[in-house]
Every structure is written in C-alpha cells, then in structure tokens.
Chains A and B, each alone.
Chain A
Amino acid sequence: MSQRIHDTRRSKQIRRDRLGRGLIALAAGLVLAIMLLIIVDLVAGGASVLSWEFLTAMPRARLTAGGILPCIVGTIAVTLVTTLFAIPFGLATAIYLNEYARDTWGTRLIRLAIRNLAGVPSIVYGIFGVALFVNGLSLGTSIISAGLTLGLLTIPWTITASEEALRSVPPAWREASLALGASRWKTIRSIVLPRAVPGIITGGILGITRAAGETAPLLFTGAAFSLPGLPQSVFEPFMALPYHIYVLATQHEKINAVRPLAYGTALVLIGMILALSLVAIIIRARLRKRHGGASL
C-alpha cells in the first residue's frame, strides 16, 4: 500500500503532469496579457480623441480634425452587404453538403475547395473582386463590390459554421420526421434549421467580424481615401474604418499629428467588432433557451 503511494515513478509522472499544466496555463495567460496590452495601448493612444463629435462628424482639414462618421457608416454598410451575401450563401451550401449530397468524388472536391478558399490571402480576394464585381459585373468601385468581395472571403467560414451547426442536430430527429412522411426539405425547415440557427448565426457573425476588419480587399474595390459626403447608395465608393486607420497611420502627410486619430479609429473598430461578437453571444443564449437545452 505505502509502496504504491511512494512509488517514485508515479510521483515523477505527477511532477511532469504539473509542469505540463503549468505551461498550458502560462500560454493561456499570455494570450490574455497580449489582448489586454493591445487594448491598453489603443486606449492610451486614442482615448483623448474620442468624443461625440468624433463619432458623428465628417472629417475636416484634410483628415486632421472632425470625426469619422463616413468611415463608420461605410463599414456598417459594407458589413451588411457581406452578411446578406455570405450567410445565406454559406447556409445554402452547407445544407446541400450536409443534408442532400452523398459522399461522392464531386462533393469531396467541393469540400477541398472550401478548405483551400479559407486559406487564400485576403489581397487575392481583393484582386478577384476587381475582376468579378468591379469590372466583370460593372458594379464599379462601390459598397456593393467591396461587400461582395468580403462576402466571398467569409463564405468558407459561414459554410463551415453552418455545417457544424447542422451536424450537431441529432440524425434521429431527421429520421422521425421522414418516417412520418415529411419531405427532406420540410424536415430541414421544421426540425433541423430551428435547432441549427443559433450555431449558424453565431458562427456566421464571427466570420463576419473577421471580414469587417479586413483592409486589403477594400483597397481596389471601393474604399476611398477621403470623400466629401456620405454615400447615397450602395453603388458609390465609401470610407471604411480599417482603411482609414491604414491611411492615417501610413499614408498621411502629417503622420505624427494624426496618430491619435488613427488610434481612436482603431478603438471604434475594435468596439464595433466586440459589440458584434456580443450580439452573437446574446442571440445564441436566447435561442438556446427558447429551444430547450436538452438534446439526445
């Protein structure tokens, strides 16, 4: 008995175990520290410029004064286009792959393509967006071209999120519905989707927050250095938060003078993205509660 308790091999194992756990905790702590550092740095550099005017006014004096309203409006508008394009498209593809397609050569190829699309650098999407939307479909440099380009970039993520959500719905419910004589589509609408929607929305929004912060795809598809007024339709160019940060931080003639403005803009962008993530979390919690927590 005491032999076992004092077994040196075992205590060595326990020590190694503790070391491993310590390293993992350290890595997790480091992530938190890095995130806090970023936020502290942004607040220190940009909090001074935050004001009601900063959020609601047009920029003045060659972007050195006034607010960033057109950038906020532009980013929201582009993100909306991205959402309206990427979530339905991603969901439709996921429904096809998960509910209808059989495991064939063709569907395996589609899955491979999706995985590779997720790894394509965003600047490449930008160039593709020019070819397809700006020139090909003659949408010009505009909110819609930029939103669709970001949509393409997001689709692999919305597909993956939707597929995961669909897969989490127990097959037994589909069988029960089909055995009652329901069609596949009826089963998807009445049984599968209500259950999968929280996951689809959460995953979709997380993909979209990623797109909302992208700069490269906006460069040639519609983002403008500076515009005299707000865009009047989705077919006009726009200003956007990430591109504005890029402009202020690297392209401006008085880089040091506008540095606080760049930081302030970054704070607003981060704030918007955090707000979106929060919305995703709240929607998920709400829908989870409504549809009951238990599953098979």
Chain B
Amino acid sequence: MLTMPKPSDQAAPDGIQLPAITVRNFSFYYGSNRVLHDISLRIPRNEVTALIGPSGCGKSTFLRSINRMNDLIAGTRSEGEIIVGDAEIHTPATDIVSLRRTVGMVFQRSNPFPKSIAENITYGPRLWGIRDRWQLDQIVEETLRQVGLWEEVRDRLGASALALSGGQQQRLCIARAIAVKPEILLMDEPASALDPIATRRIEELILELKERFTIVIVTHNMQQAARISDRTAFFYLGEVVEYDTTRTIFTNPRQARTEDYVTGRFG
C-alpha cells in the first residue's frame, strides 16, 4: 500500500491539506449487487462533512465502510481503498478493533445499552483496560458535560439509560462514542427520530464537537446539512455526483442533478 503520493495529490485541488479520510476508487457490493461505484473523495480534519442524497443511494453503506461495520453482513465485498490516517483499512491485516476505536459511530435510532447511564459511558473505556474507579468517574463526568447532559443526569448516573428521553438517549450515545476518544465520528441520520427541539440540540452539539473530532454525517434534511456542515457530498445511485463546500453545493452547484436535489425538485 506504500505508494508515493502523486503530484496531483500534493497539489490538493480540493483544498484539503491533511485529510482525515481518503477514499480512492471505492466500490462496494452486497453479493453481486454493486451499490457504491468508484467513489473518490477526501474528508478534511475537524470539519463536518455531510452526505446527502435520496434514500437507497448508498450513504449508510459508505459510512459503514469507514469503520467496517459492513463486515457483519455476509457476502459483502469492496474494491478500492479507504485510508484513515495513513492506513488502508480494507486489508486482511487491518486491526478492526483499533480502527473502531479511532472511528466512532452514532446510529440512526438511539441504542443505549440496557445498563445504567454511567455504565453506558464506561463500556468503551473499560474495553481499553481502564479499571480505575476514579478515572472512570472522571470520564463519565467529562463526556456527559461535553454532550450537555451532565446537569440533567448528574444525580441519577446509576439509573437505567432506557429511562431517558429520545433526545437524551441520543446524546448519551454520542457521549458513549466519544468516551473512547476517537478521531472521527460517523453519524447516520442521528436526529431523524427526534423532535425539532432535540434535533436542534444535537445540531448544536455537532458544531461544538467538530473542534475536537472529524465528523461525517448522513442526513436527509437539507436545512440540517446547510446549517451544520462545512462540506457536502451528494450521493445518487451509488455515485458521488458532486462534492464541494456546503456553500457551493447549496448556492452554486456545478451539476444540474445536485441543484434539483438540494432545491427539492426530486428526492
């Protein structure tokens, strides 16, 4: 995998100097069904990159390729490469466990474990061998503060996480993901099951989190993509039709199909 960077890479025509994720000619198959076609793009550090497009166009599949969650599905196969940091992640030698420590994930439906609020957060750190009570307590407080949940739950950390409201559960899931200190956070429509107020809070949180993490978020909400993302990739039928700064995608797209989609003419 050690190829010399091509001159065009160094020139960085997309303006991205040190990408967090580099995707080159990536294709993905469920059985013989090819759902991602030759995707190439680079995702910058400490920015929010939104993936938009009609449902079924491969956004989730692409997102789940970045932490190899698709491995769980039988009969899947990929071509091309995805480089996280400086390692190609679809090799037999890839350490999936440390990949998933580097690349955290938040799912569409909040899925806290049927354990206490504190246990949900310490689950990841414990996996990495942190056993010290005091240190774990620190992590619980710190991450709950980061997601703005500390004041709401500080006196019931031992209560079941399932008793929280939908929006609180999703923020807890974000806290659980960042408790292992990943570099990249993948979010698959994290607010699609929430009411507008809870959605707003998640969006504010994402803007805060990009200071510390690289965020890739799938959303089918155009306003959301416009509000929170720095860059937007428009997926259509398994291809990236256009990838640019969010401002360009929404105000001055190069492709007619992109314009049709972001203005709501189809989708």
Contact = CB atoms under 8 A, between A and B. Distances in A.
A228 interface: no
A179 B69 contact: yes
Given A181-B100, A190-B123, A291 B114 contact: yes
A176 B160 CA distance: 17
Interface centre among A103, A181, A182 (most CB of B within 10 A): A181
A105 to B, nearest CB: 13
Nearest to B116: A292
A175 B113 contact: no
A103 B124 contact: no
Given A181-B97, A181-B124, A296-B111, A176 B173 contact: yes
A173 B177 contact: no
B233 to A, nearest CB: 22
Interface string A138-159: 0000000000000000000000
A294 interface: yes
Given A178-B100, A181-B127, A172 B111 contact: yes
Nearest to A104: B74
Interface string A189-212: 011001100000000000000000
Interface stretch (B16-24, B84-92, B102-110, B143-151): B102-110
B71 to A, nearest CB: 9
Given A173-B111, A173-B114, A103 B100 contact: no
B100 A172 contact: no
Contacts of A194: 114
Given A172-B107, A175-B69, A181 B98 contact: yes
Nearest to B102: A181
Contacts of A191: 113
B97 A177 contact: no
A180 B111 contact: no
A56 interface: no
Interface residues of A, number: 24
A180 B72 contact: no
Contacts of A177: 113, 123
Contacts of B173: 176
Interface residues of B, number: 28
B128 to A, nearest CB: 8
A192 to B, nearest CB: 11
Given A180-B177, A183-B97, A294-B162, A173 B113 contact: yes
A296 B128 CA distance: 27
Contacts, number: 70
A286 to B, nearest CB: 15
A170 interface: yes
B177 A178 contact: no
Interface in A239-296: 291-292, 294-296
Contacts of B105: 179
A18 interface: no
Contacts of A296: 109, 111
B231 interface: no
Contacts of A175: 69, 72, 107, 111
A251 B72 CA distance: 59
A295 B176 contact: no
Nearest to A180: B124
Nearest to B111: A172
Contact of B176 (A180, A183, A190, A195): A180
A181 B182 CA distance: 11
Contacts of A179: 67, 69, 100, 104-105, 107, 177
B101 interface: yes
A102 interface: yes
Contacts of B127: 180-182, 186
Given A172-B111, A177-B113, A181-B124, A292 B162 contact: yes
A193 B261 CA distance: 45
A180 B100 contact: yes
B76 to A, nearest CB: 11
A103 B69 CA distance: 18
A195 B115 CA distance: 10
B42 to A, nearest CB: 23
Contacts of B107: 172, 175-176, 179
A249 to B, nearest CB: 50
A180 B180 CA distance: 8
B69 A170 contact: no
A155 B98 CA distance: 38
Contacts of A103: 74
A145 to B, nearest CB: 41
Interface centre among B72, B114, B173 (most CB of A within 10 A): B114
3 closest pairs, A vs B, by CB?
A172-B111, A181-B100, A179-B105
Given A179-B105, A295-B114, 11 more contacts: A102-B74, A175-B111, A179-B69, A180-B104, A180-B176, A180-B177, A181-B96, A291-B114, A292-B114, A294-B160, A295-B162
Interface of B: 67, 69, 72, 74, 96-98, 100-101, 104-105, 107, 109, 111-114, 123-124, 127-128, 160, 162-163, 173, 176-177, 180
8 contacts: A102-B74, A172-B107, A172-B109, A179-B67, A180-B101, A181-B97, A292-B163, A294-B114
